[in-house]
């Protein structure tokens, strides 16, 4: 009887994991109708490359300001990990300029639901309608922390994970990197993967909230239109994302029952 219970529970666990793996990754929305610290042509080229070549998400589309608001709201609470890609500009339709909606904006709710935001070019969450209206308070407010990204001329080199997942990523200067010592000191946010780092911080890097499972990442936060942003982003999404997200069982990515616990019954 005990063996039968183990078999049934084991099969249930496997089925649950398989279901989570198939349903874990949802949709991707790409916003480059407005950009910051990058030319529109360069952003369009990179954005179009992401839309054409990312295969890890069920659906990848670009949206305008109103469409991004609708997409973010529709993909909050749907049970999947969805990803919003920004090019140095935070749409005012999902986060009020000047940090006026500090706690319950569609953007923060989207992240707190266990979803993923990835930004390139200008300082994440800094620029919106009216210019740098959010300032460096934007990232602190949205992430409920004290992180800053002031790292001018931070020479970054690919890490082992960078070489593994993003082979097209070369050394470059990042002006807005996440400072890993600040991340390490934060009780909620962890550096889930670092693709390149330097003396002042990491970029590209993905941070993960250990309470909600939400992710905030950056890649190539610098004003340099010559960088291969699209190629590197596609590699992050196609090579790394499935290893990190597709096997998650609950929104925080933690299996509630392990095979070792089953064997101990």
The predicted structure's pLDDT at residue 46: 99
Q: Tell whether the torsion through CA atoms of 245, 46, 36 and 158 is positive or negative.
A: positive
Q: Does the pLDDT of residue 229 top 60, yes or no?
A: yes
Identify any residues that bridge with 202 across adjacent strands, giving them in sequence order: 178, 197
Chain-wide mean pLDDT for the chain? 89
Is the link from the previous residue into 140 a cis peptide, with omega within 30 of 0?
A: no
Q: What percent of the chain has pLDDT over 90?
A: 82
Instruction: Work out the burial of residue 73: count CB atoms within 10 Å of its CB; fewer than 13 is exposed, 13-18 middle, 19 or more buried.
Output: middle
Q: For 171-210, how does the pLDDT look when each residue is reduced to its tens digit (9 = 90+)?
A: 999 999 999 999 999 999 999 999 999 999 999 999 999 9
Average pLDDT value for residue range 37-65: 99
Please enumerate in sequence order all residues whose Cβ is within 8 A of that of 238, keeping only pairs 6 or more positions apart, or say none.
53, 54, 55, 56
Confidence of residue 4 (pLDDT cuts 50, 70, 90): very low
**pLDDT at residue 247, rounded to an integer:** 55
- Residue 158, φ and ψ in degrees, nearest 5: -60, 140
- 19-23, 50-54, 87-91, 116-120 — which is least confidently predicted? 19-23
Cα 89–chain centre separation: 15
pLDDT in tens, 135-166: 999 999 999 999 999 999 999 999 999 999 99
- Mean pLDDT score, 63-81: 98
Q: Where are the domains of the chain?
A: 30-256
User: Among the CATH numbers 2.60.40, 1.20.120, 3.40.50, 3.30.1490, which is that of 30-256?
Assistant: 3.40.50
Q: Output the pLDDT for position 102.
A: 86
Instruction: Calculate what percentage of the chain has a pLDDT beyond 70.
Output: 84
Give the pair of three-digit tokens for residue 219: 């890649």
DSSP assignment of the chain equals -HHHHHHHHHHHHHHHHHHHHHHSEEEEEEE-SS-SSS-HHHHHHHHHHHHHH--SSSEEEE--HHHHHHHHHHTSSSSSEEEEEESS---TTTS-TTT-STTT-HHHHHHHTT-EEEE-SS-TTT-BTTBSSSTTHHHHHHTTS------TTEEEEE-HHHHHH-TT---EEESS-B-HHHHHH-SSEEEEEESEE-SS-BSSEEEEETTT--EEEE---SS-TTS-HHHHHHHIIIIIHHHHHTT-SSTTS--SS-HHHHHT-
| Whether the predicted pLDDT of 169 surpasses 50 | yes
pLDDT given at position 56: 98
Mean pLDDT over 47-69 rounds to: 99
Token duo for residue 169: 């990523």
d(CA 199, CA 209): 24
pLDDT at 103: 84
Average pLDDT for 50-67: 98
């Amino acid at each position: 009887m005990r063996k039968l219970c183990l078999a049934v529970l084991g099969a249930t666990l496997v089925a649950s994991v398989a279901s989570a793996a198939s349903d874990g990754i949802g949709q991707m929305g790409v916003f480059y109708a407005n950009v910051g610290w990058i030319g529109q042509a360069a952003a369009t080229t990179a954005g179009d490359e992401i839309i054409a070549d990312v295969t890890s998400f069920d659906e990848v589309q670009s949206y305008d300001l109103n469409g991004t608001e609708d997409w973010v709201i529709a993909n909050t609470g749907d049970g999947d990990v969805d990803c919003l890609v920004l090019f140095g500009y935070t749409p005012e339709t999902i986060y009020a300029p000047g940090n006026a909606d500090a706690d319950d904006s569609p953007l923060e709710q989207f992240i707190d639901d266990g979803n993923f935001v990835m930004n390139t070019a200008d300082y994440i969450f800094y620029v919106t309608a009216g210019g740098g209206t959010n300032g460096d308070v934007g990232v602190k407010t949205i992430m409920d922390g004290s992180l800053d990204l002031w790292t001018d001329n931070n020479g970054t080199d690919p890490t082992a994970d960078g070489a593994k997942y993003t082979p097209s990523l070369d050394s470059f200067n990042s002006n807005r990197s996440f400072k890993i010592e600040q991340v390490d000191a934060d009780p909620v946010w962890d550096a889930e993967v670092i693709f390149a780092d330097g003396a002042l911080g990491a970029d590209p890097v993905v941070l993960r909230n250990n309470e909600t499972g939400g992710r905030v990442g950056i890649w190539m936060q610098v004003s340099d239109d010559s960088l291969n942003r699209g190629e590197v982003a596609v590699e992050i999404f196609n090579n790394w994302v499935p290893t990190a997200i597709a096997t998650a069982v609950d929104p925080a990515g933690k299996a509630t029952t392990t095979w070792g616990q089953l064997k101990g019954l």
